[in-house]
Amino acid sequence: MSIAMQVAAGEARKGHTEFSEELRRMIEKAKEHIAPRQTAGETIPFAAARGELSELFAVFHPQTKLADMVLPEAMQARMARIVDEHRQMALLRGHNLHPRQKLLLSGPPGCGKTMTAHALAGELGLPLFVVRLDALMTKFLGETAAKLRLIFDSMEKVRAVYLFDEFDSIGTERGNPGDVGEMRRVLNSFLMLLEGYRGNSLVIAATNHGHALDQALFRRFDDLLSFALPSIDLLTETIRRRLAMSPTKASVSLVKVATAGEGLSYAEVVRACDEAIKFLLLAGRSDLKTADLLAALEERRSFLNRTIL
């Protein structure tokens, strides 16, 4: 629509008023046939709790696929297995088995935990509901527990991927020592709900601090996926893919750049590539060089090493 409007405006500027008017009429007419865009709330089909629920979730309809991720082979295989078990859920259920549906993702920032939740949803064609922990955690424990129950109810009714991002904050967010006992109870009620859950949704918890979570917690999950900083090979692939999508002509030594990026996360390296491409575009150049990427990586590194005063 907006492209058509731009064309109409462009034609009007060129003095083609008749054509421009006709275009505008066509756009107006087409608009009448377009259904209003679905909003986050409308994907949840039960009206009563809609207001409260939409506050608890951010809703996405991801197009991301597993193939968009650069991962060690073993990790790719484990993810493919999860997808397969969900696609063939009916077969498994027919034998009284259930697919892996409670996943714990742990690992350093920027290594693909959130992206994995998007990719699994994208592969399965399911919406992704990201649970907003800030909305879940209230000062009032009873209220938090009630909201948790609401979320688990929704999991039963609406098949989707549910992501509890920064999951460790359930245990530690309110660092106030007086609260620890209460947060522990919230965690316990989460674990009980999780343990009892047998619906068709996929429940994913992600954390940067896997080591801080206790054994009792691990037992409740069907699969633990540990993410790590990328090897030089994986970085090479990440950079290759990012540059392949860029509008610039790259003549770059991927190995040199990847080696310089060692120790950085996928996210940092993707970001450095973006920075280098932006810099080039703004400078009116189109030939991306190894040195441009090395400079961008250096900049990311010094940014990360800076301490916040």
Ligand X SMILES: Nc1ncnc2c1ncn2[C@@H]1O[C@H](COP(=O)(O)OP(=O)(O)OP(=O)(O)O)[C@@H](O)[C@H]1O
Binding site for ligand X (CB under 6 A): 69-71, 109-115, 208, 227, 238, 266-267, 270
Q: How far is the CB of 213 from ligand X (least distance, A)?
A: 14
- Residue 188 vs residues 267, 289, 292: alpha-carbon distances, Å: 33, 53, 50
CA 37 to chain CA centroid, Å, is 22
207 makes contact with Mg ion (CB under 5 A): no
Instruction: Assign 47 to helix, strand or coil.
Output: coil
**Amino acid letter, 150:** L
- In this structure, what DSSP letter does residue 307 have? P
Closest to ligand X by CB, 92 vs 270, is 270
* Intra-chain end-to-end CA distance of the chain, in Å: 47
Closest to ligand X by CB, 141 vs 270, is 270
Query: Which residue stretch of 45-53, 58-66, 112-120, 173-181 sits at the interface with Mg ion (rule: CB under 5 A)?
Result: 112-120
Closest to ligand X by CB, 23 vs 117, is 117
The partner in contact with residue 20, picked from Mg ion, ligand X, none with C-beta cut-offs of 5 to 8 angstroms by kind, is: none
Query: Which residue stretch of 24-32, 63-71, 99-107, 109-117 sits at the interface with Mg ion (rule: CB under 5 A)?
Result: 109-117
Closest to Mg ion by CB, 86 vs 113, is 113
Q: Which residue has the tokens 């990427």?
A: 293
Select from 20, 101, 114, 236 the one that contacts Mg ion (CB under 5 A): 114
Q: How far is the CB of 144 from Mg ion (least distance, A)?
A: 22
Closest to Mg ion by CB, 17 vs 172, is 172
Q: How far is the CB of 111 from Mg ion (least distance, A)?
A: 9
Q: How far is the CB of 32 from ligand X (least distance, A)?
A: 38
Q: How far is the CB of 255 from ligand X (least distance, A)?
A: 18
Closest to ligand X by CB, 188 vs 226, is 226
**Amino acid letter, 308:** I
The partner in contact with residue 12, picked from Mg ion, ligand X, none with C-beta cut-offs of 5 to 8 angstroms by kind, is: none
Strands (E), 177-274: 202-207, 223-226, 249-251
Closest to ligand X by CB, 129 vs 227, is 227
Provide CB contacts within 8 A for 60, sequence distance 6+.
118, 121, 127, 128, 129, 130
Instruction: Assign 249 to helix, strand or coil.
Output: strand
169 forms beta bridges with none
**How do 128-131 and 57-60 pair as beta strands?**
antiparallel
Q: Which residue has the tokens 């909201």?
A: 147
CA 32 to chain CA centroid, Å, is 34
Closest to ligand X by CB, 145 vs 225, is 225
φ, ψ of residue 221 in degrees (nearest 5): -95, 150
Q: How far is the CB of 227 from ligand X (least distance, A)?
A: 6
Q: How far is the CB of 171 from ligand X (least distance, A)?
A: 16
CA 99 – CA 102 distance, rounded (Å): 9
- 34 C-beta neighbours (distance < 10 Å), count: 8
The partner in contact with residue 69, picked from ligand X, Mg ion, none with C-beta cut-offs of 5 to 8 angstroms by kind, is: ligand X
The partner in contact with residue 109, picked from ligand X, Mg ion, none with C-beta cut-offs of 5 to 8 angstroms by kind, is: ligand X
Q: How far is the CB of 60 from ligand X (least distance, A)?
A: 12
206 forms beta bridges with 105
Binding site for Mg ion (CB under 5 A): 113-114
